[in-house]
Chain A
Amino acid sequence: MSSDSLDRLISRILEDAKEQSCAIVNEAKRSAEELLEEREKETQKKAQKTCQEIRRSAEADTENIVHRESVDAIIKARWIMLSEKRKIIDEVFMKVKDRLQAYAKEESYQKLLIHIIEEAAMAAGEGRLEVLVNKSDSQRKLPLKELSAKVSSKLDVETTLKLSDKIINAIGGAVVQSEDGRTKIDNTLESILERERKNLEPKATAVLFSDESA
């Protein structure tokens, strides 16, 4: 083999190796790029899925936050308005109590007191009944004999009403009780007002908060 031929052979071996190396690296590069592209696509897909969940959760949270806070505010506002109405209604009943106190000093009150005692006696029933009134009313001349007769006639049972020595602390009205104290009808003006409050409140509310009556 000539020196020239040997040089060419060596050169060929080295060139082939260089070409093969280049091919290996290029193939690896292409393969890595493909892999990278594929992984990027997968990652993008995975990230999008995660993001979708995050967005969905955020949207639900957003709706909840707005809805919950609005509902809380509406409930609070309603409660405040109802409380305000309640305060005004309470004021009405306080004023009615004051007015009843004044009314108990008027002449026309006597008629109501007699009616109250009669109704209480009817409710208490037969027998010997005591009538308890406040200090001011104890000075009144109450037709208890006539009332006894009237009640006895209505109930068709002997009933007697007697003014008790005991004085009650009330603005007006009366308590009628049996002598043994077993039956007791509280018809003081405060009790009547309290008992009837449930029925009277709707009427008061209608007058108080209606624009037409303003």
Chain B
Amino acid sequence: MVDDIIKVVLKAEEQANKQIMEAYAQADTMKDSPNKPSDQLYDTTVTTCKKEAEASRELAKKKAAERSKRIMEDCESEVAKIQLIGQKNMDKAVELILKEITSGAHVP
């Protein structure tokens, strides 16, 4: 009779131990799991940031190209002005140099 009781109790304890061991195993699995999401979070954040940086570089390139274009447009109009004023004053400059040379003042 006592043997039977001990047997039943031991079986119950065995079952209880098994349950507890399973709980420990589940707990161990839980401890290992947090790595993945944190790596993903890092990658996502940095990737977004890299994309923003690239976009900002592209924007800068566009801005620089627009600024260069404006400078070259100003240059074109300045060149036209130089040509106009240069042609307008050409004869005066020629006369001036000619006078300087023919006056003999520059003969060493």
Contact = CB atoms under 8 A, between A and B. Distances in A.
Contacts of B74: 77
B41 A47 contact: yes
Interface string B52-93: 111011011101110110011011001100110111111011
Interface residues of B, number: 70
Contact of A20 (B20, B60, B83): B20
A70 B101 contact: no
A93 B97 contact: yes
Contacts of B20: 17, 20-21, 24
Contact of B45 (A1, A47, A69, A211): A47
Contacts of B79: 80-81, 84
Nearest to B84: A214
Contacts of B26: 24-25, 28
Given A14-B15, A81-B75, A192 B83 contact: no
B92 A213 contact: yes
Query: Which one of B27, B45, B72, B97 has the highest number of Cβ atoms from chain A below 10 Å of its Cβ?
Result: B97
Interface of A: 1, 6, 9-10, 13-14, 16-18, 20-22, 24-25, 27-29, 31-32, 35-36, 39-40, 42-44, 46-48, 50-51, 54-55, 57-59, 61-63, 65-66, 68-70, 72-74, 76-77, 80-81, 84-85, 88, 91-93, 95-96, 99-100, 103, 108-109, 112, 115-116, 119-120, 123, 185, 187, 189, 192-193, 195-196, 199-200, 203-204, 207-211, 213-214
Contact of A39 (B34, B53, B72): B34
Given A36-B37, A55-B53, A81-B75, A187 B98 contact: no
A40 B26 CA distance: 22
Given A46-B42, A76-B72, A209-B86, A115 B107 contact: yes
Determine which residue in A22, A200, A207 has the highest number of CB atoms from chain B within 10 A of its CB, and name it: A207
